[in-house]
Amino acid sequence: MTDTALVACKIEKITDCSTKNKEHIDKGTSELISARKPETAVCPSNICKWRIINGENLVLRYGLLYSRLEASNLLHRCEKELVYNTGILAKVKMFGKLIDIPRKQVAHGDASLSYTFSGNTVPAMPWTPLLTEIRDQVSKTSGYDFNFVLINRYKDGHDYMGEHKDDEKDLCQGHPIASLSLGQHRDFVFKHQDSRGGHKRRLDEKQGRGRNLEPVSILLEHGSLLLMEHPTNSFWYHSLPRRTRALGVRLNMTFRKMNPANCKPVGTSK
């Protein structure tokens, strides 16, 4: 798909088969999707309907997995049960220096799994009954199995996640990543690698012109599930920007399929 084949438009409302929940889209930012009308596909479990979002090497599915009441109950249980990393496990390496992660974080998964990113290796704590319950529902709805979940807790809009791609060698290549959101709605922004700083400048020098693919912004609702399918993470960076007006707590669970052969021992770095 070429640049000119992409158009900016708004995503239509999503209907939840079991609730009156509706999708809220950030009116201040356009959604970059394919020129054809977005498709709607029913989830395998018939719990929600997917909104399919396509762009240049961008393949996303978004739907409401839980009702507002169900999502609130899960958030309450998570707030009571989850214990987050501290010390070295709560830091990442930036420009050769260890800094605090601007949010709380913990990982759970199958035995011996770990996840290495930004200069730190995070071990998977054992699955709990609550997380197993959520994982199984995500798998049933998405049609994919997962053996690892990275959980981020944002106390309010001051906590954020910078631009990055989930393309580490630890991950099973080509397997989707499923992102479940609970709590405060936040906008989630995708930016194509050719439209970012240094990469764009190199293209300018090499080709004599830049590529200006517009960012894609989706407002992630309480109880929503976003499926990032291949090859999205090979070409698109994503981030959760700081939003000081967002006052509530947000939990995000990204379910992944890790390759045990590539997982490093805890305490090592890239």
Q: Which residues participate in the annotated binding site?
A: 95-97, 115-117, 152, 154, 164, 167, 238, 250, 254, 256
Closest CA to 117 of 145, 152, 159, 82: 152
Q: Which residues are annotated as a binding site for substrate?
A: 95-97, 115-117, 167
Q: List the beta bridge partners of residue 91.
A: 100
Number of residues in the chain = 270
Using DSSP's 3-state secondary structure scheme, residue 200 falls into: helix
* Integer Cα distance of 29 and 35 in angstroms: 17
CA distance 8 to 53: 11
Binding residues for 2-oxoglutarate: 152, 154, 164, 238, 250, 254, 256
Q: Which residues of 68-107 are buried (b: 16+ CB within 10 A; e: fewer)?
A: eebbeebbebbeeebeebeeebbbbeeeeeeeebbbbbbb
